[in-house]
Chains A and B, each alone.
Chain A
Amino acid sequence: MAEENVTFHLPDLGEGLVEATVLDWEAAVGDDVARNDPLVEVETTKSAVVIPSPHEGRVVELHAAPDEVVRVGAPLVTFAVAAPDRPAAGIVGTVPEEEKRPRRRVRLTPPGE
Chain B
Amino acid sequence: MTELIEHTTGTATGPTVELSMQQALNRALRTLLAEDGDTLVLGEDVGALGGVFRVTDGLQKEFGADRVFDTPLAESAIMGMSVGLAMNGWRPVPELQFDGFAYPAVDQIVNQVARMNYRTRGAVPMPITLRLPSFGGIQAPEHHGESLEALFAHTPGLKVAVPSDPGEAYRLLLQSVRCDDPVVFMEPKARYWDRRPVELSEPADPIGTSRVVRPGRHGTLIAWGAMVHRCLQVAELAAEDGVDLEVLDLRWLTPLDTDGLAASVRRTKRAVVVHEAPLTAGLGAEVATRVTDACFGDLAAPVQRVTGFDVPYPAGPLEPQYLPSVDRVLLAVQRTLEY
Contacts and interface: CB of A to CB of B under 8 A. Distances in A.
A92 B137 CA distance: 12
Interface in A89-108: 89-96, 99, 102-108
Given A90-B54, A108-B243, A96 B138 contact: yes
B243 A93 contact: no
B241 A96 contact: no
A96 B140 contact: no
A104 B190 contact: no
Contacts of A103: 326
Contact of B334 (A89, A90, A91, A106): A106
B297 interface: no
A89 B138 contact: yes
Nearest to A111: B337
A30 B314 CA distance: 45
Contact of A109 (B190, B300, B331, B337): B337
Contacts of A111: 218, 243, 300, 337
Contacts of B141: 92
Interface in A47-78: none
Contacts of B53: 90
B242 A106 contact: no
Contact of A105 (B238, B327, B338): B327
Given A87-B193, A109-B338, A110-B218, A93 B241 contact: no
Contacts of A109: 241, 334, 337-338
A93 B242 contact: no
B8 to A, nearest CB: 29
Given A89-B138, A92-B98, A96-B138, A106 B338 contact: no
B138 A102 contact: no
Contact of A92 (B144, B242, B326): B144
A96 B4 CA distance: 25
B327 A93 contact: no
A103 B320 CA distance: 13
A90 B327 CA distance: 31
Contacts of A106: 326-327, 330-331, 334
Given A93-B189, A102-B237, A104-B326, A110 B242 contact: yes
A95 B80 CA distance: 32
B302 interface: no
Contacts of B98: 92
Given A92-B52, A108-B243, A109-B334, 17 more contacts: A87-B193, A89-B138, A91-B52, A92-B138, A93-B140, A93-B316, A95-B138, A96-B138, A96-B139, A96-B193, A104-B237, A104-B330, A107-B330, A108-B241, A108-B334, A111-B300, A111-B337
Interface of B: 52-54, 98, 137-141, 144, 189-190, 193, 218, 233, 237-238, 241-243, 300, 316, 326-327, 330-331, 333-334, 337-338
10 contacts: A89-B138, A90-B54, A92-B98, A92-B141, A94-B139, A104-B237, A106-B327, A109-B334, A109-B337, A109-B338
